[in-house]
Amino acid sequence: MNSRTRALRSLIRLHKTKVDQAKAIMAEALAREHAARGQVESNQAAIETERLEATSGHASLDDFRQWLPYGQEAVERARSALHVAGRASDQARETLMQANADLKAATSILDRRVEEEKEIRNRRELAEIDDLSRRVRMASG
């Protein structure tokens, strides 16, 4: 194996590390996005629960009207956090896609290089066999 092939193998190991890191970051980003989505749903459910309590007579409508802006504000904050988390997930996805593309490109180059080295070895072997055949013919002829 020559120095170019060793360098390509090192590059591939580096790209595999980057892919692994990108996968970990992606998993974290998706977990944060999932948690943010859950918070939005929880806050929306709280508004609905409070509304049902007020309309069923278990709580006063005035209390609900006073609380509602806080509930809506909590929903908006949660939606904002979800938006930020979604952007982070999108960025992590792009980073992972690029890391995978880089790995694939380096692997493809290495595969071509290994194939070229194999062809060179095969040609040398055939040349040696041809040379031996000529020597045998010349010696016996």
pLDDT tens digits for 101-134? 999 999 999 999 999 999 999 999 999 999 999 9
Domains and CATH numbers, the chain: 3-110 (1.10.287)
Q: What is the dihedral of CA 82, 88, 89, 93, to 10 degrees?
A: 160
pLDDT attached to residue 73: 98
pLDDT attached to residue 65: 93
Structure-token pair, residue 43: 């806050």
pLDDT attached to residue 141: 66
pLDDT attached to residue 140: 83
Structure-token pair, residue 78: 């949660």
pLDDT-flagged residues of the chain (< 50): none
In angstroms, the CA 44 to CA 58 distance is 19
